[in-house]
A and B are shown apart, each in its own frame.
Chain A
Amino acid sequence: SAVISQKPSRDICQRGTSLTIQCQVDSQVTMMFWYRQQPGQSLTLIATANQGSEATYESGFVIDKFPISRPNLTFSTLTVSNLSPEDSSIYLCSGQGTMTEAFFGQGTRLTVV
């Protein structure tokens, strides 16, 4: 399956700032997904990103807080804005192309202080 490189792997940010997470796929994928995993919890889908259109957000997630870009079929970014300690989580990007299983980036472990 394809490989996703996700950066940064971890970061410690001050509250009120923003963090942008990048995911680069080594092949073209139509859909990318962004997940949040709070400590000790399962994965919660934030949004689905299709190239050339606005991302589709799940209930409880809004574009102002989690703006997403998807400029081409191999790249996407997620920004977590106006950080608060509640945003401390692992953020994962996922791709789904011609293979039916989702493949994931390495995750970004965010700590907000």
Chain B
Amino acid sequence: AQKVTQAQTEISVVEKEDVTLDCVYETRDTTYYLFWYKQPPSGELVFLIRRNSFDEQNEISGRYSWNFQKSTSSFNFTITASQVVDSAVYFCALRRYSGGYQKVTFGTGTKLQVIP
């Protein structure tokens, strides 16, 4: 069975602070995908990043960076110099790498509030 744990339910930071959102996953698969999605108050889910399990390179995109550590089954997300527009619920997710259309397992989400 697959499981994604986001232990931080809610985080509040002051604007311009850095913040890291934790994600720990469990899977018996040797190859899999990991994702981060953002859900602003309007409700839609916005795709942020996909990471393959065989690619442990960290990635940076503007103020966003992701740290994938296969040895600890973690895929953490850091926002540098946070802004009010970053306020949202962030979901970490996991799915199998195998062919076909596999279900996505979502974590419980971390609600980030950036205070001006």
Contact = CB atoms under 8 A, between A and B. Distances in A.
B103 A42 contact: no
B54 interface: no
B91 A42 contact: yes
A107 B46 CA distance: 11
Contacts of B104: 33, 45, 94, 102
B75 to A, nearest CB: 14
Given A42-B107, A42-B109, A107 B35 contact: no
Nearest to B108: A42
Contacts of A92: 43, 45
A50 to B, nearest CB: 8
B71 interface: no
Contact of A109 (B33, B37, B43): B43
Specify which of A48, A104, A106 lies most central, judged by the most chain B CB atoms within 10 Å of its CB.
A104
B78 to A, nearest CB: 20
A43 interface: yes
B91 A43 contact: yes
Contact of A41 (B35, B47, B108): B108
B47 A106 contact: no
A9 B106 CA distance: 22
8 contacts: A9-B43, A92-B45, A102-B47, A104-B44, A104-B47, A106-B42, A107-B44, A107-B45
